[in-house]
Structure 1
Amino acid sequence: MPGVFRIINRSPKQPQVTLSAQDDNENGFKEYLERLLKMIPGEMIGFYMIGSGFIPKEYDKLQAVWAALCLILLILIRVWGTKDKDKDLPYQKFPVFVSSIAFIIWVYWMGAPFVPWNLHLPWVGSLAILIWTFIIPYFYSGDPE
């Protein structure tokens, strides 16, 4: 069974007869949303947010350590979650990379580890989230199976 985060290229190997162009558009949009949801590291963003709430304000630089630990956990989870054990396929490098960068962008947007070093510009984080999160799944449709 493929991992829960594995992105499967569903493009047909041979032409298929469809009922209408609307069916093609709906399927294409569903596949885009599936890729989008699999590449957003929502589980680790939530984990990071909850954990960062326990760090006292006077230990603000510890937020960077917490973010780095969460990034390592994210990579491990995504490596495991993109393997296909049934077909003996390795993990998918690109989705792991995309999710890792997305996590860093989200953490930047929230600000905590970057504020003590005066590196936080919220508007940059907002634009980066929009561009990275919604554009990458448009161009990447998964590894051929």
Structure 2
Amino acid sequence: MGREIQTASPKLAPVGRRGAPDEDFPAAGPAQPAADGYADRLMKLIPGEVIGVYLSMITLLKHSSDPVAPQVPWAVFAFGVAATFFYLRVTLKVRNRRQLALSVVSFCIWAFTLGEPFTQLAWYNGTYAGLLLIAFTFVAPQVPMDDGPPKSAEA
């Protein structure tokens, strides 16, 4: 199972009928994967690997015995945003732009909820960040991932 969200419903292979001894059966095409349900979409939209790397880096910064410049957590956040896109696009071969965008937004919201570097901002409130995470996690898998009906060749 790949990381890209599957939107197409499975197509059934043509069914052959038993014919004369010299008659060939129609060839069955490759089976298409079933469309992903809500839970599968949810899991594929959360970049867990990048969130884990980000959490490790932020934790190291918090517990550093050396003074850390205030810009460093922001640089780690920027790294996480870029890493989310490139990890999904290059390593996991996700091509759906909407899924890539939602996954990057998902990383940003998870980072916002974890606190750093946003705790440097006077208006930051972890309670509201948690509410945002819950709302996004509930809504994001319901966003359609396909680009609409297939285009005809006659256009």
Q: TM-score range by the shorter chain?
A: 0.7 to 0.9
Give the superposition deviation at 1:128: 1.2
1:111 aligns with one of 105, 115, 137:
115
Greater Rg by CA:
2
Task: Confirm or deny: 8 A CA contact 1:9 1:143 kept in the other structure.
Answer: no
Extract structure 1 runs of 4+ deviating beyond 3 A. 141-145
Q: Distance in 2 between matches of 1:126 and 1:120?
A: 11
| Contact 1:7-1:142 at 8 Å conserved across structures | no
1:35-94 Cα shifts (integer Å, max 9, x gaps): 1100011111111001111213732431111111111111101112244xxxxxxx1100
Q: Is the 8 A contact 1:44 1:70 kept in 2?
A: yes
Q: 1:46 maps to what in 2?
A: 52
Identical amino acids, percent of aligned pairs: 23
Equivalenced residue count is: 123
For structure 1, which runs of at least 5 residues remain unmatched after alignment?
Answer: 15-26, 84-90
- On the 8 A contact 1:82/1:92 being kept in 2, the answer is no
1:32 counterpart letter in structure 2 = Y
SS at match of 1:54: helix
Q: 1:102 aligns with which of 102, 106, 123?
A: 106
Pairing of 1:1-145 with structure 2 (within 5 A): 4-12=2-10, 31-55=37-61, 56=64, 58-59=67-68, 60-80=70-90, 81-83=92-94, 91-142=95-146
Q: Give unpaired runs (5+ residues) of structure 2.
A: 13-33, 151-155
Report 1 or 2 for greater relative contact order, CA contacts < 8 Å, sequence distance ≥ 6: 1
